[in-house]
Amino acid sequence: MTAKTLMIQGTASSVGKSILATALCRIFKQDGYRVAPFKAQNMALNSSVTKEGGEIGRAQAVQAEAAGIEPSVYMNPVLLKPQADATSQVIVSGKAIGTFNASHYYRINSTLLKIISESLEKLRTEYDIVVIEGAGSPAEINLKSREIVNMRIARLVNSPVILVGDIDRGGVFASIVGTMQLLSKKERDLIKGFVINKFRGDVELLKPGLEFLVNRYSKPVLGVIPHIRQVNIAQEDSVYLDERAINYRNGNLDIAVIRLPHISNYDDFDPLEASSNLKYVSHVDELGNPDMIILPGTKTTISDLEYLQRSKLADAILRQVKSGVPLIGICGGYQMLGKRILDPHGMESNAAEADGLQLFDMETTFAEDKTTRQVQARILTDQGLFSGMKDMAITGYEIHMGTSLNQAYLPVFYVTTLPDGRFSYNDGTINENGLIFGTYIHGIFHNADFTQKLLKNLSLLRKKPYSEIVQLNKETDYDTLADIFRGNLDMKSIYQFTFGGDNAE
């Protein structure tokens, strides 16, 4: 049987498409269906690596987890990772094919649409339901003739569509009406109902607006979703950082993550956010006196390094390190810790080289090939932040284009690739007192034993009381998310039009 489809589109970016798709994946799974997520084209700096080593958007990996299945490159056949110079790295079927500007990208649309169609059809042969997520808005009239992610995909498989609007930003009814007005009749007919997201307050106050939508379009409002705080679900991109609290007060340790302009995979730090006073820092005056500083991953290392130096954050970080504050670099942040970064092929920047923070005698060179793989690793060191942690095992993943060579090499991890252990090598660098280290491995803090021991060591170093870490439970969070959405959605109607006449084979 060919899978049924249900598509989630939005009135704009960041209105809640991803979280609704995640919740529906979990609900359908709970109800006994084999369900898979799909997004034809994703533009995001938060990405994930599949078991086969393909790179896809973080949102689709999360949705696959919620659905109880392994993430696959078929779930996000086209991923765009924006860079600093108005270009994007284009990843197709999990592999980077080059860096393009907009006009170059649109010239390959027909080829991409074929790959998208084949990916979607493959999923439809293997599952009962495919939950499709759109991107941005379907009503961008300047892009409609070239788009390959919204109504073109809905029309391709005659999928029913739920249109989501965000009331938290204001103007939700105008945005829904405006979107509907700019769609063709055939496109409007595919929309089966509306969802209002991120509502705070008494739903009774919304009734006049809800009735207006029903009367104007003869389509139901399928749900009003409350503003959700209590569920820890990895977000798609850094827009979320603009909406979160500046600082969560959890525990006694103060940790500062530098919010680089092109920060990527910041969900690396979700476990730290649950167990410390973690803040994202964009300016020198926000840094304060943290107990630890983290330089995160970035899509454009040289550009973001120049930002650090231009904003004086680099000087402030070095002063903190000199005073004994530990510093961790992850991926691009790790590359910044060295002496020089070289980009001879122009993979990330127009600059052929840049000076790093000079904390390691290390040189990084960007290569044309991209490393994407899941890994397991064993800790090689037993000092500073890693005191008592030698031989501890962790798992994670790598996404990077650079190779780093250190002249005074003190590695952090012995790495074996997953799933088959085909390659093994040393990763990372640590200084002699164990207070500065860097690694290419993402996801290290999602290893609970590792994080607990590291934070305990940090508490001793900073002479602060230790608080037990809060262990995240993804399965519980997905179930909680599903409960919230199920309690506020008209699931009966959703099932009817998903399996009903307009979407029947």
Residue 70 scores a pLDDT above 80: yes
| Cα dihedral 122, 124, 130, 133 sign | positive
In this predicted structure, what is the pLDDT of residue 248?
52
In this predicted structure, what is the pLDDT of residue 51?
94
**Count of C-beta atoms within a 10 Å radius of residue 467:** 15
Q: Which of 403, 441, 182, 393 is nearest to 296 (CA)?
A: 441
Residue 502 scores a pLDDT above 90: no
Residue 324 scores a pLDDT above 90: yes
Residue 468 scores a pLDDT above 90: no
**Taking CA 46 as the corner, what is the angle to CA 40 and CA 52, rounded to the nearest 5 degrees?**
70
Pairing status of strand 161-166 against strand 4-10: parallel
- Look at residue 318 and give its three-state secondary structure: helix
Q: What is the pLDDT of residues 107-118, one digit of tens each?
A: 999 999 999 999
The DSSP letter of residue 73 is G
Sorting pLDDT into bands at 50, 70 and 90, what band is 238?
A: low
Q: Which of 3, 2, 88 is nearest to 44 (CA)?
A: 88
Residue 249 scores a pLDDT above 70: no
Whole-model pTM: value is: 0.92
Q: Cα–Cα distance between 414 and 378 in angstroms, integer?
A: 5
Q: Cα–Cα distance between 454 and 185 in angstroms, integer?
A: 58
Query: Rounded to a whole number, what is the distance in angstroms from the first to the last CA of the chain?
Result: 9
What share of the chain in percent tops pLDDT 90?
81
Assigned token pair, 80: 């765009």
Residue range 437-456: average pLDDT?
A: 96
- Look at residue 224 and give its three-state secondary structure: strand
Lowest mean pLDDT among 41-45, 66-70, 89-93, 404-408: 404-408
For the chain, domains (ranges, CATH) are 4-232+477-503 (3.40.50.300), 239-462 (3.40.50.880)
Residue 315 scores a pLDDT above 60: yes
Active site residue 331: yes
Residue range 189-217: average pLDDT?
A: 95
Residue range 9-19: average pLDDT?
A: 95
Residue range 380-397: average pLDDT?
A: 97
Active site residue 442: yes
Residue range 407-412: average pLDDT?
A: 82
Q: Cα–Cα distance between 99 and 91 in angstroms, integer?
A: 9
| Chain centroid, CA 309 distance in Å | 26
Assigned token pair, 241: 């950082």
Residue range 429-435: average pLDDT?
A: 95
Q: Are 384 and 433 in contact (CB under 8 A)?
A: yes
Strands (E), 16-168: 35-38, 41-43, 47-49, 55-57, 78-82, 88-92, 95-100, 129-133, 161-166
Residue range 262-281: average pLDDT?
A: 92
Strands (E), 25-75: 35-38, 41-43, 47-49, 55-57
In this predicted structure, what is the pLDDT of residue 246?
46
| Cα dihedral 34, 265, 87, 344 sign | negative
Residue 375 scores a pLDDT above 50: yes
- Look at residue 489 and give its three-state secondary structure: strand
Lowest mean pLDDT among 22-26, 171-175, 203-207: 203-207
Contacts of 291 (CB under 8 A, 6+ apart): 253, 254, 255, 325, 326, 458, 462, 464
Length of the chain as a residue count: 505
Task: Kindly name the residue from 25, 262, 331, 400 that is annotated as catalytic.
Answer: 331
Contacts of 436 (CB under 8 A, 6+ apart): 321, 326, 327, 328, 337, 359, 360, 430
Lowest mean pLDDT among 83-87, 145-149, 327-331, 474-478: 83-87
Task: Kindly name the residue from 262, 400, 442, 446 that is annotated as catalytic.
Answer: 442
In this predicted structure, what is the pLDDT of residue 274?
85
Residue range 124-134: average pLDDT?
A: 98
Q: What is the pLDDT of residues 45-67, one digit of tens each?
A: 999 999 999 999 999 999 999 99
Q: Cα–Cα distance between 292 and 235 in angstroms, integer?
A: 24
Residue 482 scores a pLDDT above 50: yes
Lowest mean pLDDT among 33-37, 348-352, 389-393, 471-475: 348-352
